Structure 1
Amino acid sequence: MCNDYRLKVDIASIVEDFEDLKIKSRMPEGKPNVPARDDIRMTDMAPIVRSVEGERGVGELVNRRWSWPGNHGKPVYNFRTEGREFKSHRALILADGFFEFTDPPVPRPKDKRLDKWLFTMKDHDWFCIAGIWRESPAGEAFTMLTMDAGPDVSPYHHRQIIPLTRDQWVDWLDPTVPAKEVLRWLPEGSLQVAQVYGAPPAQQVLL
């Protein structure tokens, strides 16, 4: 499952896009310091927009830790959606790409790394991933929600995180909207995929 994603878009552009969608992004802790990041990994701090109870179209832009400690201390960085309603503590996770990893089709005995694939949104520079947040022994933290993989991701993994279309953002921030009405696959072809590790540069392809 996704344990690595990317955000290289500046906060000013993100706030402007929220405003265009009539979503108020409050900053109760001040403007987050969000340097461009090629790789955001478990336990890293990263920006999210969390829901505000009782206020539709409003979110709080804050920096929080990705993953909270689960059983035996293992980080909970992904969370299954099946059978759950998520009636509070919803969050939009800001990203401009996420990564999946696959075994190389031809083994590389001297290189144990997996092939790395970058997924980006075809029609937008950045997007939001459906998530939730909670209090934890490590402080407030967030996790990405998952479901069975749709057509764009299934060639690489049987599960996927859930990128949301822009018209879904306000509904995900509103816990009165049933989760099943928001959490679904993007239309086929919405995500574009590029191999970023595992093949010589001349062989890297955009699928």
Structure 2
Amino acid sequence: MCGRFTITHPNEALAALFDAVPGNDLPMTPNFNVCPTNTVAVVTSDGGVRRLRAMRWGFIPSWYKAPNDGPLIINARSDTVATKPAFKAAIRERRCIVPASGFYEWSEGENKARLPWYFTRADGLPMALAGVWQRWGDMDTVAIVSTEAGPGMGAIHHREPVILEREDWPLWLGEAGHGAAVLMKATAEGVMTKPYRVGVEVNSNRAFGAQLIEPVAA
């Protein structure tokens, strides 16, 4: 599951990291509370040319008559992405990477309180989250692929976003032939830092600012 994330790396740095041509309509950074329906920067590859493009986080299937014609789709499950009608074509033809500096996940506290935790890569680099995208009208929309949680998630949540390593980017983006399904797996132990609790302020989609990722006592 991935329902909120951060992007603190500049767009220029992301373009350089992914060797991508940046668009001129990319969202401003930093953003410490990227929420569903926000515009996000996404890496795609067309004929081997990578582009950093702006997309709406919230995949809109082709048959929707309006963006709110059905459920808001922000994640695609790795175990059903190849068979669900919404994603069948996208997983074959329109895979992408969603750069993120970190992401939030929630555990349940007393009285079902939602307790947020923050995850980042141990090496400090941006995460390359696996995604699928869809053109709807004149808008490009994206969903993040999730899988069963690995050891890095601990007991916080049973699912996590698929995080791609640099050597796997060409395969996921369709530049290195077929077989990308093998990449939809949990992150290896040690790739992510140990998560830490952050304040419940981030539970609001209206919250913003660097204080959102400051640790608090667990």
Q: Does 1:26 align with 2:21?
A: yes
Written as runs of structure 1 = structure 2, the 5 A alignment for 1:42-57 is 42-52=36-46, 55-56=47-48
User: CA contact under 8 A between 1:34 and 1:47: conserved in structure 2?
Assistant: no
Query: In the alignment, what sits opposite 1:196?
Result: 198
Question: Once the 2 structures are TM-superposed, how far is the Cα of residue 136 of structure 1 from its aligned partner?
Answer: 2.6
Question: Once the 2 structures are TM-superposed, how far is the Cα of residue 203 of structure 1 from its aligned partner?
Answer: 2.2
| Cα distance in structure 1, aligned partners of 2:51 and 2:4 | 23
Written as runs of structure 1 = structure 2, the 5 A alignment for 1:53-64 is 55-56=47-48, 58-64=49-55
Letter in 1 for 2:148: D
Q: TM-score, normalised by structure 2?
A: 0.77
| Cα distance in structure 1, aligned partners of 2:6 and 2:217 | 23
User: CA contact under 8 A between 1:68 and 1:138: conserved in structure 2?
Assistant: no
Return closer, same or farther for 1:34/1:169 CA change in 2, 3 Å cut-off.
Answer: farther
Letter in 1 for 2:140: E
Letter in 1 for 2:96: A
| Cα distance in structure 2, aligned partners of 1:11 and 1:74 | 30
| Cα distance in structure 2, aligned partners of 1:60 and 1:152 | 30
User: CA contact under 8 A between 2:74 and 2:142: conserved in structure 1?
Assistant: yes
Q: Deviations over 1:94-151 (max 9, x none)?
A: 10001111111x33xxxx7510011101113312100010023582100000111111
| Cα distance in structure 2, aligned partners of 1:87 and 1:145 | 13
Instruction: Work out which of the residue numbers 72, 85, 95 in structure 2 matches 1:75.
Output: 72
Question: Higher mean Cα deviation, 137-146 or 188-197?
Answer: 137-146
Written as runs of structure 1 = structure 2, the 5 A alignment for 1:1-207 is 1-19=1-19, 25-27=20-22, 29-30=23-24, 32-52=26-46, 55-56=47-48, 58-69=49-60, 73-82=70-79, 84=82, 86-104=91-109, 106-107=110-111, 113-136=113-136, 139-174=139-174, 176-192=177-193, 193-197=195-199, 203-204=217-218
Letter in 2 for 1:140: D
Letter in 1 for 2:100: A
User: CA contact under 8 A between 2:2 and 2:146: conserved in structure 1?
Assistant: no
Q: TM-score, normalised by structure 1?
A: 0.81
Structure 1 stretches of 4+ moved >3 Å: 69-72
Unpaired runs of 5+ residues, structure 1, are 20-24
Give the 3-state SS of the residue equivalent to 1:135 in structure 2. strand
Q: Deviations over 1:160-183 (max 9, x none)?
A: 111111211122111633122322
Q: Deviations over 1:19-71 (max 9, x none)?
A: 4xxxxx123x436242210011110001001131xx24x32211110003468
Query: In the alignment, what sits opposite 1:22?
Result: none
Letter in 2 for 1:189: G
Question: Once the 2 structures are TM-superposed, how far is the Cα of residue 12 of structure 1 from its aligned partner?
Answer: 1.6
User: CA contact under 8 A between 1:145 and 1:162: conserved in structure 2?
Assistant: yes
Letter in 2 for 1:103: E
Return closer, same or farther for 1:177/1:103 CA change in 2, 3 Å cut-off.
Answer: same
Give the 3-state SS of the residue equivalent to 2:16 in structure 1. helix
Give the 3-state SS of the residue equivalent to 1:87 in structure 2. helix
Greater strand share, structure number: 1
Return closer, same or farther for 1:188/1:26 CA change in 2, 3 Å cut-off.
Answer: same
| Cα distance in structure 2, aligned partners of 1:34 and 1:170 | 26
User: CA contact under 8 A between 1:165 and 1:186: conserved in structure 2?
Assistant: no
Matched length: 189
Greater helix share, structure number: 2
Unpaired runs of 5+ residues, structure 2, are 83-87, 201-214
